[in-house]
Amino acid sequence: MKFFSSTKLIPVFFFVVIISCQTGKKENPLAKASRENKNGWVYIHLEGTPSEIGYQHGYLIADEIDTALKMFAYFIPHATKKDWAFYRNCAKDFLWDKIDREYKDEINGIVAGLHAKQKNYDSLDIAALNAYEELAYYYVPQLMDKMKPGSGDNKAPGNCSAFIATGSYTKDGKIVMGHNNWTDYIVGQHWNIIADIIPEHGNHILMDCFPGFIHSGDDFLITNNGILITETTITQFKGFDSTAIPEFVRARKAAQYSNSIDDVVRIFTEGNNGGYANDWLIGDTKTNEVAKLELGLKNVRVWRSKDTAMIGSNFASDSTLIAQETTFNVHDNTSSPNARKLRMEKLVEVDLKGKIDAETGKQIEADHVDATANKNENNRCVICGHIDEDGKGCAEWDEPAYYPMGAVQGKVTTASLAKDMKFWAHMGHPCGQDFIGAEFYKKHPEHAWLSKYLMNMPAYPWTLFEAKK
């Protein structure tokens, strides 16, 4: 598939060197940037103006972005019945004009870096890539329903398990935060970038992300001023406003420019488009307070405390939001979000209360107890999900039985680690199990079409990452 259009609708600025206005000397745009491969992750340090950060990003992981975009072009028509050209048109028609100038410059910089490595993409590709979740699972179902009522098949994803705790719930009384990413393995195997970003303005950010993303996407990040942010999606959420600000823009802005929980809430709610509706878990190590922002399109609710453990496993809590903006059955304890909620509540409120730290946080994200059966299982109802080994299927996401999807990686940090801009990250199932494609496709040949871009997803050790100062 050809991504790059010879007819430019969006300007892309190319550069290989920068001329200093003060000295007249040529400066290397990669001078402050670096890349390191480590235990399944690709760590990149990016520093400078938006264009410089973008160029560094596009240049340093050009191969990873290229592979990810080729995978999406292959996978998306199967997943959403829309081809990549449709997503590019969304970027052109209503996304691009709502992106802040600095983030347009960063996206254009990514494209320039890709071109320097002979990767033929444009800014529509990168904007559409960043908005993939909100377009595929929020805009597309709404669009289909408008064309034919009932055809949208609302399956907003129920991906990820997360917690944030503080006060009497943690070992040292300070904030601990953890998250694991659930998604299709064909996508999740690429969610292996650790981005260390020192922008020209705003906060120093350390986050995991997808290649080509200017935001985290699955959302786990820390900043140099003590803000911690993660989230889990609200299962089967419906609603999208294409005239408002894209979620990926608000997510990046909240990370870069928030100095408090109030700032995070304000940035997320102003211009909210309803896309990628989440329960956002937020911490501020300066005050030792944590919060949950339940962000629908019509309904917004915030809970805050300095002594609590808040969890996310894709369930909403506000009854009005649930009734007005989801199709999710909160009473079905056999569903994945509800089953994981039961297990996480027991872990953080009973079994591990007063003991939560980095190590127990890792245990939570790797947990395999099915609360509906009260035993260890490999299925959709455990925190470290394995739908590829679950014959029940997964109604929340319209996935068939034995489908390669589940927990693809995990992250944990504490207030003391975040103070030094550090967090732990685990690529592959946090429990340590590998996914071996040849074995899976032999048992389930109906999914062999995935093998073009998904073979193995090995589990690596937990690895400590630290931002450069």
Determine which helix (DSSP H) or strand (DSSP E) holds 209, and give its type and residue range.
Answer: strand 205-209
Q: CB atoms < 10 A from the CB of 151, how many? A: 11
Q: CB atoms < 10 A from the CB of 433, how many? A: 20
341 — phi, psi (to 5°)?
Answer: -60, -45
336, two tokens:
């994945």
Question: Looking at residue 151, what is its pLDDT?
Answer: 57
Domain 161-466: which CATH number of 2.40.50.180, 3.60.60.20, 3.40.47.10, 3.40.50.300: 3.60.60.20
Question: Looking at residue 11, what is its pLDDT?
Answer: 39
User: In this structure, which amino acid lies at residue 162?
Assistant: A
315, two tokens:
């369930």
Closest by Cα among 344, 324, 335, 330 to 281: 344
Residue ranges of domains in the chain: 18-33+58-147, 161-466
Contact 265, 293 (CB under 8 A): yes
The pLDDT averaged over each successive group of 10 residues in the chain (469 residues) is 36 41 68 98 98 98 98 93 96 98 98 98 98 94 78 69 98 98 96 98 98 98 98 94 98 98 98 97 98 98 98 96 94 92 98 98 98 94 95 75 95 98 98 98 97 98 96
Burial category of 375 from C-beta neighbours within 10 Å (exposed 0-12, middle 13-18, buried 19 and up) = exposed
Contacts of 350 (CB under 8 A, 6+ apart): none
Q: CB atoms < 10 A from the CB of 427, how many? A: 26
Question: Looking at residue 6, what is its pLDDT?
Answer: 31
Question: What is the four-CA torsion angle of 71, 229, 182, 41, rounded to 10 degrees?
Answer: 60
